[in-house]
């Protein structure tokens, strides 16, 4: 019990990490897209948990809010819109075997690379935590330019979305009358 309480952080970290991996693995294996989406949601939530354990709580909040709350909801909406059942046909593409071979290679190379040289941390993980106020102040003071550019990016996204709608409507009309 003492051992458990003393190393709780590390154990929780291991647990969350394992669950995230399981979720990721399920994404590859599951057949139906809805289930795949749910596996991804679980991975993301566990990642949020890891962020929290590291002390950056606001990023954890952002992870859940933005990724799960916006991105995955949108994804689920689209899956439901297209009524995808995916029951028939082969599950995997033609490149299954080469893919797995490549995957092993990539993993091996990365892991060996990390093993050999990881830059010395200035502090152990979980040491330099800071709160949202620190973050907010520096974000809007020093990095205001990046903030504005992000707004520009979002405006561009909106414009692009409207352009897509227009193009698709024009294509529809031509398809119907032509």
| 119 three-state secondary structure | coil
Q: Kindly tell me which residue out of 6, 8, 10, 11 binds another protein, with binding defined by CB under 8 A.
A: 10
Instruction: Please tell me whether residue 110 binds another protein under the rule CB under 8 A.
Output: yes
Minimum gap (Å) between residue 43 Cβ and another protein: 7
Tell whether residue 45 is a contact of another protein (CB under 8 A): no
Please say which residue, 8 or 105, places its beta carbon nearer to another protein: 105
Contacts from 55-61 at CB under 8 Å and sequence distance 24+? Answer: 55/126, 55/127, 55/128, 55/129, 55/130, 56/129, 56/130, 57/131, 57/132, 58/131, 58/132, 58/135
**Positive or negative, the Cα torsion across 10, 14, 19, 23?**
positive
Is the CB of 4 or the CB of 118 nearer to another protein? 118
Site for another protein in 60-79 (CB under 8 A): 62-63, 66-67, 70-71, 74-75, 78-79
In the chain the first and final C-alpha atoms are separated, in Å, by 76
Q: Per CB under 8 A, which of residues 133..152 are in contact with another protein?
A: 134-135, 138-139, 143, 146, 150
100 binds another protein (CB under 8 A): yes
């Amino acid at each position: 019990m003492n051992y458990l309480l003393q190393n709780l952080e590390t154990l929780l970290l291991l647990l969350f990490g394992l669950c995230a991996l399981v979720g990721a693995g399920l994404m590859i294996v599951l057949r139906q897209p809805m289930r795949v989406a749910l596996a991804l949601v679980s991975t993301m939530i566990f990642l949020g948990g890891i962020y929290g354990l590291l002390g950056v709580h606001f990023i954890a909040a952002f992870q859940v809010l933005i990724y799960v709350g916006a991105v995955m909801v949108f994804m689920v909406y689209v899956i439901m819109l297209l009524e995808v059942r995916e029951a028939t046909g082969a599950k995997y593409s033609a490149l299954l075997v080469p893919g797995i071979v490549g995957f092993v290679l990539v993993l091996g190379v990365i892991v060996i690379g990390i093993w050999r040289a990881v830059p010395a941390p200035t502090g152990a993980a979980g040491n330099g935590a800071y709160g949202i106020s620190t973050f907010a102040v520096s974000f809007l003071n020093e990095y205001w330019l990046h903030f504005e550019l992000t707004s520009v990016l979002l405006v561009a996204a909106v414009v692009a979305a409207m352009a897509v709608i227009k193009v698709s409507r024009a294509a529809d009309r031509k398809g119907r009358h032509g």
